[in-house]
Amino acid sequence: MTDFVKIEKGLGPEGRIAVVRFDRGDGINALSPEALRQLTAAARSFEDDSATSVVVLTGSAAAFSAGFDLKDAEGRSRKDMDLGTLRRHLKLGPRLTHAWQEMEQITIAAIEGFCVGGGVALAVALDFRVMGRDAHLRVPEIGLGMNMSWQSIPRILHLIGPARTKQAVILADQRISADEAYEWGLVEQVVDPGHAFDAAMELARKVAAQPPLSVAMTKLTVNRLAHALDNLASHMDVDQFALASLSEDHKEGVEAFLTRRKPKFRGR
């Protein structure tokens, strides 16, 4: 099995920083089902790691992630799955974002190039986001006849409010520049191109210098308060995604994407 994810530990003050690198070597870092599994396993590998206080997640120099891989053979097989199998397969994404959100360590995303769809869903599950100035975000799911799932809507809502969330998600073709993302509150820092990782590591060093137990307990308290109602608001998004994936609009959206043409949606 190809290894898309590499973990380096013992960095920074007292060796309390770890780096998780996601790089498929293809320049776009799309999230295949296997990539989702590896990134989930990476997050879970820190569950009993008391030596690490901060985890920096970075993609390649060209892309944080292009989102779910629509060309992956396993992903494409969803169209032939029965509903029960489909529902189980669709839990790969929510499982990933939940694993990263629930980490005891402070997590920081270093974003270069583009961060699209599932990449955005992953980034907003982390504690902080640092972005290169020439990078952009985009949430294309609705343009593909799908809904934004992986329990991402509540997370985005907490960051930027209802109107901006609707703008980011519904206007699927809209690129959100780094400066716009900072202005909206989607990212916490914008830096010169190529320096997102360096800036993320600098932030990580500041966090790692703080008392680890106090930091972990504060993160837990803030997350429990901020996300207390998230499951209530998004518990159906996997089933909504499954339902949308059976629609004619979804088939049209994906076909239009793959053939590089404008889709024609009919509400069916």
Reply yes or no on whether the pLDDT at 132 is more than 80.
Answer: yes
Range of lowest pLDDT (115-119, 164-168, 251-255) = 251-255
d(CA 201, CA 207): 10
Q: What is the pLDDT of residues 4-56, one digit of tens each?
A: 999 999 999 899 999 999 999 888 999 999 999 999 999 999 999 999 999 99
In the 8-state DSSP scheme, what is residue 143? G
Q: Which two tokens stand for residue 22?
A: 């996601």
d(CA 110, CA 30): 16
The number of helix segments (H) and strand segments (E) in the chain equals 12, 10
d(CA 89, CA 153): 20
d(CA 150, CA 161): 18
- Mean pLDDT, the chain, rounded, equals 91
d(CA 48, CA 43): 11
d(CA 7, CA 131): 21
Reply yes or no on whether the pLDDT at 250 is more than 90.
Answer: no
pTM above 0.85, yes or no: yes
Question: What is the number of residues in the chain?
Answer: 268
pLDDT at residue 238 in the model:
76
Q: What is the pLDDT of residues 47-77, one digit of tens each?
A: 999 999 999 999 999 999 999 887 766 666 6
Give the whole-number percent of the chain exceeding pLDDT 90: 66
Q: What is the pLDDT of residues 158-214, one digit of tens each?
A: 999 999 999 999 987 899 999 999 999 999 999 999 999 999 999 999 999 999 999
pLDDT at residue 148 in the model:
86
pLDDT at residue 71 in the model:
74
Helices (H), 91-247: 92-101, 118-123, 152-170, 178-184, 196-208, 212-226, 230-234, 237-245
d(CA 3, CA 117): 22
Q: Which residue has the higher pLDDT, 141 or 201?
A: 201
